[in-house]
Amino acid sequence: MRSILITGSSGFIGSFLAEEALTRNLDVYAGIRKSSSRQYLQDPRIRFSVMDFTEKSRIKEFLVEQKQQGIRFDYIIHNAGLTKAQKKEDFYRVNCEFTRNFIEALTETDSIPLKFVYISSLAAYGPGDQLSMKPVMLDDTPKPVDEYGKSKLEAEKYIRSLSGFPWLIIRPSGVYGPREKDYFVYFQTISRGMEPYIGFKPQILTFIYVRDLVRLILDATVSNISERAYFVTDGKEYDSREFAAITKKHLNKKTLKITLPLGLVGGIAFALEKLMSLGGKMPTLNTDKFNIMKSTNWTCQVDVLQKDFNFRAGYDLDRGVKEVLEWYRKESWL
């Protein structure tokens, strides 16, 4: 039986990765922190690996201990990452430095797996051109517009500079599904009868349902392909109004459309960030978030992904939103 270590298993995507890996008869090691929740890691076949990425020496100790117990990870999915932070430096520390610590520790303890999959993000490349509306292509020059995306890009640059290391980089676009808390806020807003828009130009968005994403990631992990990077979406593009229409349909709700001018939201984001920085805090609406919200082209190239892994999403937005809303209702989130 082959083994797999999935870091960030306690999180939204990580918990689904662990489930998917179990269905493939892999010996699953959930890489978590001491403080991590195990709520969605209840399957008794899951083994836990408490990891601390803050110092390379701690990861080395962990890897040496594993070896002493006869454990070798055939595959590693490095999915742990910071998507929101109080301080910009935290993005670089967790997404970049911790990744470097981890890879150096693997190398120095002779623990390099058959495949090391890094979960990056479309944010590492940023949005596509807003005039031509062309998708972001795999060979485009990355232009991230927020610190999160920049930190993911920095980690990618480090990984791509390695030689003799079997890496693969996966860059999902917006991931939604059960257990997810950010798109949930949007669904909740619609369910409360409000349909918010920022700016008058519709955004063109891309999504991937978590169940399709983890299936693709596991296919890619056990494949013969390495030293490549891929964007992941369900293969379709959605206008922000379509996203709202699908959500309203499945919630059976009528809404009041509220369109806030870009300048106003940008001004508020800037002012909030300045004000809260005095107390060392980062507001939820900040300039990074604004840069993401004002970008109208979140389309990207997926034909290579589809070809290399014979990947077809089983869920389009209509099917995925229907299923996720059923889950939120069942769990009394909505």
Give contact residues for ligand NAP (rule: CB under 6 A).
8, 10-14, 33, 35-37, 53, 79-83, 94, 119, 121, 172, 174-175
Provide the minimum distance between the beta carbon of 267 and ligand NAP in the complex, in angstroms, as a whole number.
Answer: 27
CA dist., res. 183 & res. 190, Å (int): 11
Provide the minimum distance between the beta carbon of 81 and ligand NAP in the complex, in angstroms, as a whole number.
Answer: 2
Question: Which DSSP string corresponds to 260-273?
Answer: E-HHHHHHHHHHHH
Provide the minimum distance between the beta carbon of 214 and ligand NAP in the complex, in angstroms, as a whole number.
Answer: 10
* 95 vs 191 by CB, closer to ligand NAP: 95
* 82 vs 285 by CB, closer to ligand NAP: 82
Q: What are phi and psi of 317, to 5 degrees?
A: -60, -40
Provide the minimum distance between the beta carbon of 52 and ligand NAP in the complex, in angstroms, as a whole number.
Answer: 8
Provide the minimum distance between the beta carbon of 9 and ligand NAP in the complex, in angstroms, as a whole number.
Answer: 6
* 208 vs 255 by CB, closer to ligand NAP: 208
Contacts of 219 (CB under 8 A, 6+ apart): 309, 311
Provide the minimum distance between the beta carbon of 175 and ligand NAP in the complex, in angstroms, as a whole number.
Answer: 4
Provide the minimum distance between the beta carbon of 261 and ligand NAP in the complex, in angstroms, as a whole number.
Answer: 27
CA dist., res. 36 & res. 30, Å (int): 11
* 208 vs 272 by CB, closer to ligand NAP: 208
Query: What element of type H or E holds 219?
Result: helix 210-222
Residue with token string 């990744």: 99
Provide the minimum distance between the beta carbon of 334 and ligand NAP in the complex, in angstroms, as a whole number.
Answer: 19
* 119 vs 272 by CB, closer to ligand NAP: 119
CA dist., res. 125 & res. 145, Å (int): 8
Using only C-alpha atoms, what is the Rg of the chain? 20
172: helix, strand or coil: strand
* 10 vs 255 by CB, closer to ligand NAP: 10
* 16 vs 255 by CB, closer to ligand NAP: 16
Pairing outcome for strands 256-260 and 194-198 = parallel
CA dist., res. 165 & res. 141, Å (int): 23
CA dist., res. 28 & res. 2, Å (int): 9
Provide the minimum distance between the beta carbon of 282 and ligand NAP in the complex, in angstroms, as a whole number.
Answer: 15
CA dist., res. 126 & res. 121, Å (int): 9
Whose CB is nearest to ligand NAP? 11
Token pair for residue 227? 């030293």
* 119 vs 159 by CB, closer to ligand NAP: 119
Question: Which DSSP string corresponds to 48-76?
Answer: EEE---S-HHHHHHHHHHHHHTT---SEE
Cα separation of the two ends of the chain? 41
133: helix, strand or coil: coil
Query: Of 323, 80, 55, 31, whose CA–CA distance to 183 is shortest?
Result: 323
* 66 vs 151 by CB, closer to ligand NAP: 151
